[in-house]
Each structure stands twice: as C-alpha cells, then as structure tokens.
Structure 1
Amino acid sequence: MEQTHDFTMWSMFADATILVQLVMLALVAASVWCWAIIVDKTLQYRRARRESDAFDAMFWSGEPLDQLFDDIGAAPQGSAETIFAAGMTEWRRSHKQDGDLIAGAQARIDRSMDVAIAKEAAKLQKGLPVLATTGSTAPFVGLFGTVFGIMNSFIQIAESQNTNLAVVAPGIAEALLATGLGLLAAIPAVIYYNKLSADADRIIAGFEAFADEFSTILSRQLDS
C-alpha cells in the first residue's frame, strides 16, 4: 500500500529545502509587516481626519487667532494644530517691540507652514514604501522559491528514476506554496498601498488648503 503524503501547509513547509523555507519565512514576515502597517496607517489617518475636523470647527468659530493660539499652547495636538501653530509662531516673531512688522513676514509665514506640512506629510506617508516594495517584489521572491523547489524536485525524480505522480506531486506542491505565499503578501500590499496613498494625499491636500486660507487671512491683516 502506498504511503499517503501530508499536504498540509506546515507539512509542505517542513519538507521543503532550506532555501525555499527561508523564502517562505521571508514572505510570511513581509505579510505580517504589511498588515501591521495597514492597521497602523488606517488608525492614524482616521485620527488625523478627526483632529482636523475638530480644529476646523475651532478655527472657523470666530475666536480670535491669538486667543486660539494661546489655547493650543506650546504642544499642539494633531497635524492641523501643528501647521497653525507654525504660522502663528512666525507671525508673532515677525512683530517688532514697537508693533511694526519685520519685512518679508508673509514669505516667512508661508515657508514655516510649508515646512510643517512637509513634516506632517512625511509622518503620514511613513511605511507606505514598504507596501509598495512588498507588492512589487513578493511575487518574484515567491517565484524564485518555486523555481528552486521545482528544480530540486526534478533532480530528485531523476535520481530516483520514478515519474509516478505520487512521487512528483509533493515536491511540486511544496514549491508552489512559495508562489502562493508571495501572492498572499503582494495582493493586500498593492490594494492598501493605493488606498492609503490616496487617503494620505487627500489629508495633505486638506492641510495645504488650510494653510492657503490661513495665509490669506494673515495677508489681509498685513495689508491693513
């Protein structure tokens, strides 16, 4: 009676060669890393939108800007408050002791907010390159493991001189598992990279729109 082969994932992993096992472990680690980034970014973007909405309500409530800045204090909470604080800090620094403004105040205020937006954008986009890299490389890494595994299977077939399907199938199944793991890591990475990149772009666009509106308000005060 022929011995049945165990085709569970763990058994196929255990029977694979060391190189194919390393490829599988790398793909599983990449998949876990990607899912950690996906969960973290989803929560981060949700929090950023909530904080921006709360700040917009305060900003357009009619409260004087100086009072709003004093309420926020030296430790702003959220990206929108940080951008606002950067502009207000430079606004106050641009005033002389006699109340006059130092020349070039508008340009400095705009640059201060641009720097703050760039820093907040970097925080929002941190980790996204990992998703892009995993999405583009994981299938090829899995394919490499599959090619090596199938090559090793054919070598074993040649040595045993037995082409029975029961002998050939286990080695090929083990090799194809690497491709499956590669796709398992790549597909969610590509989908969520596109989604999270679009979400980050929308949030950053909101920051830029607020900075333009705030700059316009300050510009009117400078002109007056």
Structure 2
Amino acid sequence: MSPLLQSLQQSGPLAISILLLLLICSVSVWTILISKILVWKKYRSSNKDVLRIFEEENNLVQFIEQTKQCSEGPLQRFVIDANHEIDQVKPLTQSQIEHRSELIDLLDRSFEAMIVHEELKLRTGQSTLATISVTAPFVGLLGTVLGVIDTFQGISQLQSVELTVVGPGISEALVATGAGLFAAIPAVVAYNLFNSYIRDSVEQIESLSLKFLQRLHLQFLLTNEKKN
C-alpha cells in the first residue's frame, strides 16, 4: 500500500473532510479551466472572423448579416445586440430625433450597457477561481495544524518521539498542505490568465463599438447629403 493511502487511512474524520473539500475545489478548478479554454478557443476564432469582416465590408447591413453567420463569440453577440438596438431606434430617426448626434448618443449609451453585460458573461467562473485561490491554502493549513496536533497528542500519550509515533501526524499535515497548494496554484494561474483574456476581449468590444458608431454616423451623413 502506498504511503499516501496509509496516511489517509490513519487520518481522522475531520482531516478526511478537509481533504475531500480540497479535492472538490481542485476538481472545480480544473473543470472551469478546461471548459473555459475550450470555449475561449472558439471565441478567439469568432472574434478574428468578425474583425476581418468589419475591415473588409464597409456596408453596415452586409457586415451585420455576415457576422450573424459567424460562430458565437463576444464580438458576434455584441454586433447582434447592436443591430437589435438600431432596429428599436429606427422609428426615431424619422420623427422624434431631428439631430443624428442625439441618436448616436443614445446608441452609445446602449452600447456601453451591452459591453458591461458582455463582460459579466465573460467573468462567469472567475469568482469561484478567486475564492478557491484564496481559501484553499488556508484550508490546507487547517489540515496541517490538525496533523501537528495529532502528532503532539501521540507524543504525549506514548511518551515517545519515534518515527512510528510522529510519522502519521506529520504525513497527515504534509498531505493537507500539498492538497491545498494543488488546488490553489492552478486557481491563481487560471484566474490571472482568464482576467487577461477578459480584459483583451472587452477592449476589442469597446474598439469595435467606437468604429461601429463612427461608421454609422458617416452613413447618416451620406444619407443626408443624398437627400439634400
């Protein structure tokens, strides 16, 4: 039997509970990590396609229609939501709003709200990673303390410091420490990695939003010139 299994067999109920909790934390971290990597790999490809279409297609209507055919991603969702907002304010362009700048300001505020909403979607799972990265080492430390306490209790009861007496408690303490770090380290790395990706994605959406509004404003100006 491996030393690790022997240590688990000799551990008390509380120590076992701590290790099970850390195991759940570790599984949660790796589940979030793998799922987000797979999803954001698709998102990265989708964002590239949307930006490429925007650069190649000057007509906003055609750009929106082609973007709808792209795979789902932050920029693709933003363009679809932006098109929905434009459809809602179209009646205002003919009646209630005389100046196109007012329409642009209205859409700008709507786009800002959409960006915030999209950022919240991208941050799904981040709070779990942050919580585990902070708490897992302390949970492991609690297991370490319990192992040390068991060690001193064994010494006091048997009046001996032989390895057979102190070994199980020390082993229990080290296993708890390792389990806490095994859960926390990937959580910290994943949290920082995904934070960087979220920041880049939000910057891409903000940049596309500004360019989208500029192109829309230019389209309004050209429409007015044709009417005049």
TM > 0.5:
yes
Aligned to 1:27: 22
Aligned residues: 219
Which of 125, 143, 146 aligns to 1:145? It is 143
> Structure 1, residues 96-133: CA drift from partner, whole Å, max 9, x if none?
38845735311221122222222221121111121121
With over 3 angstroms needed to count, the CA separation of the structure-2 counterparts of 1:76 and 1:174, relative to structure 1, is closer
Of 177, 188, 191, which aligns to 2:189? 191
**Structure 2 CA distance for aligned equivalents of residues 50 and 74 of structure 1:** 13
Q: Report what 2:153 is aligned to.
A: 155
Cα distance in 2 for partners of 1:139, 1:51 equals: 37
* 8 A Cα contact 1:83 1:116, kept in partner: yes
Root-mean-square deviation over aligned CA pairs: 2.4
Does residue 94 of structure 1 match 2:92? no
Shift of 1:29: 0.9
Of 29, 36, 43, the match for 1:48: 43
More displaced 10-residue stretch of structure 1: 209-218 or 6-15 = 6-15
Q: Select 1:84's aligned residue among 70, 75, 79.
A: 79
- What is the CA–CA distance in structure 1 between the aligned matches of 2:154 and 2:92, rounded to whole Å? 86
SS of 2:91's equivalent in the other structure is coil
**Alignment check: 8 A CA contact 2:108 2:213 kept:** yes
Aligned pair in 2 of structure 1 residues 67, 101: CA closer, same or farther (>3 Å)? farther
Deviations 1:129-176 (A, max 9, x none): 211211111111101111012102211221122221222112211222
Q: Could you tell me whether the CA contact under 8 Å between 2:139 and 2:180 is conserved in 1?
A: yes
Identify the residue that residue 167 of structure 2 maps to in structure 1: 169
C-alpha spacing 1:222/1:22, structure 2 compared with 1 (3 Å): same
Amino acid at match of 1:135: S
Q: Distance in 2 between matches of 1:190 and 1:64?
A: 44
One-letter code aligned to 1:49: R
Alignment of 1:64 with 2:45, yes or no, is no
The higher relative CO (CA closer than 8 Å, separation ≥ 6) is in 1
Percent identity over paired residues = 31
C-alpha distance 69-132 of structure 1, shift in aligned 2 (>3 A): same
TM-score (structure 2 length as normaliser): 0.86
For residues 21-60 of structure 1, give each alpha carbon's deviation from its aligned partner in whole angstroms, at most 9, with x where no partner exists: 1111111110110011111111222211110111122222
Distance 1:210 1:43 in 2: 24
SS at match of 1:77: coil
The residue that corresponds to 2:34 in the other structure is 39
Report the alpha carbon displacement of residue 70 of structure 1 after superposing the two structures with TM.
4.2
Which ranges in structure 2 are unaligned for 5 or more consecutive residues?
none
Cα–Cα, structure 1 residues 153 and 26, in superposed 2: closer, same or farther, change >3 Å? same
Measured at CA, do residues 97 and 176 of structure 1 come closer, stay the same or move farther in structure 2, by a change above 3 Å?
A: closer
Q: Secondary structure at the match of 2:87?
A: helix
Letter in 2 for 1:19: L
